[in-house]
């Protein structure tokens, strides 16, 4: 079953539209990704690695065609302010699980967008039979870690020096997971 759009009232009183991404969103998704990858170092993707529109269209099409994958966007006043993706694993022994990632434009941090997006994804994942959702997050990204813990994720491991930034510094990455009932 695919994702059902929903409206969520945020802490600032504005209404966030959460919906499945569409191929027609590709140009706006690329613009969004160029913005969020330049705002913080907390993304694995560097700004110069953002896909072009043609490649993004193919990626969105793949997400939409695979019933075990989900990509949703959060929109405020028509602007994409958040993207969340969940990819279901395809091997028999891990097909109960998937890996998620989320980003929110920095100017919209702290008003409940991440929470709303994750709640929507978790509800969908439960309906789709997922039993486990995992993610990776920079150990220094306290804001994201606090969100994940609030949503029920627990730390499972640490990947030391997993990411090397452009300035030569290394970042450790936490592995976190949520077991769904």
Q: How many CA atoms lie within 13 A of 102 on its CB side?
A: 26
Q: Do residues 135 and 101 touch, judged by C-beta distance below 8 A? A: yes
Q: Average of pLDDT values for 160-164?
A: 96
Q: Is the pLDDT of residue 65 over 80?
A: yes
Q: Give per-residue pLDDT as tens, 112-128.
A: 999 999 999 999 999 99
Distance CA 24, CA 137 (A): 29
CB 79 within 8 Å of CB 175? no
Q: What is the structure's pLDDT at 1?
A: 61
pLDDT per position as a tens digit, 122-157: 999 999 999 999 999 999 999 999 999 999 999 999
Are the C-beta atoms of residues 113 and 74 closer than 8 Å to each other?
yes
Q: Rounded to whole angstroms, what are the CA distances from 2 to 14, 48, 59, 74?
A: 26, 32, 17, 16
Where is average pLDDT lowest: 33-47, 72-86, 92-106? 33-47
pLDDT at 181: 77
Q: What is the average per-residue pLDDT within 77-84?
A: 97
**HEC string of the chain?**
CCCCCEEEECCCCCEEEEEECCHHHHHHHHHHHHHHHHHCCCCCCCHHHCCCHHHHHHHHHHHHHCCCEEEEEEEECCEEEEEEEEEECCCHHHCCEEEEEEEECHHHCCCCHHHHHHHHHHHHHHHCCCCEEEEEEECCCHHHHHHHHHCCCEEEEEEEEEEECCCCCEEEEEEEEEECC
pLDDT value for 173: 97
Domain 6-134: which CATH number of 3.40.309.10, 3.40.630.30, 3.90.1530.10, 2.60.40.10:
3.40.630.30
Position 46 scores a pLDDT of 87
Please say if the pLDDT value at position 35 is more than 90: yes
- Six-digit token string for 10: 């945020």
Structure tokens of 23? 């191929």
């Amino acid at each position: 079953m695919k994702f059902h759009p929903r409206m969520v009232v945020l802490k600032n009183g504005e209404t966030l539209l959460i919906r499945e991404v569409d191929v027609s969103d590709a140009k706006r998704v690329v613009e969004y990704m160029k913005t969020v990858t330049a705002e913080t170092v907390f993304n694995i993707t560097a700004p110069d690695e953002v896909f072009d529109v043609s490649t993004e269209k193919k990626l969105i099409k793949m997400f939409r065609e695979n019933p075990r994958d989900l990509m949703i966007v959060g929109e405020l006043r028509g602007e994409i302010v958040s993207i969340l993706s969940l990819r279901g694993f395809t091997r028999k022994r891990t097909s109960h699980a998937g890996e998620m990632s989320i980003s929110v434009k920095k100017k919209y941090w702290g008003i409940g967008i991440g929470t709303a997006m994750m709640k929507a994804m978790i509800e969908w994942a439960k309906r789709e039979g997922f039993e486990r959702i995992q993610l990776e997050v920079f150990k220094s990204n306290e804001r994201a870690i606090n969100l994940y813990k609030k949503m029920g994720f627990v730390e499972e491991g640490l990947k030391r020096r997993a990411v090397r930034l452009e300035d030569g510094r290394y970042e450790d990455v936490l592995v976190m997971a949520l077991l769904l009932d």
